Amino acid sequence: MTPRASNLLEGTPALEAFQTALATIAEGELKRVILDFCEVEFLCSACLGNLITARRKLRSAGQTFVRPCQRRGSLFAFFPDREAALAACRLGETDPLLFCSVSREIEEVFCVC
């Protein structure tokens, strides 16, 4: 899934579409999703909250995530591009939400350790 807006801001169609997609993912209809943020420059707090909520729902549904401190302190799996994320899936990556092409500034928001 690639959000088609440079800013995922509250009240915009891009954020609404993103929220709908995350809800579908969180309901367990898909086993693994690559979120390509190549066009995203800014996330509003609502978007951040949706990502954290999706992670929590997936964990409650039995999906497993690598512990943040085992992944350089990040809540999510980040890859430089889509091809690297796909290769990780083929090699057994277990996280259900994979991010690629994320700016350093956005990736830092998800560091917890």
- Give the pLDDT confidence score for residue 58 in this predicted structure: 84
Task: Give yes or no for residue 11 having a pLDDT over 80.
Answer: no
Domain ranges of the chain: 7-109
Q: How far apart are CA 15 and CA 82, in angstroms?
A: 21
Strand partners, 79: 100
Cα separation, 60 vs 81, in Å, equals: 28
Give tens-digit pLDDT for 50-99: 888 888 888 888 888 888 878 878 888 999 999 999 999 999 998 988 99
Whole-number pLDDT of residue 10 = 66
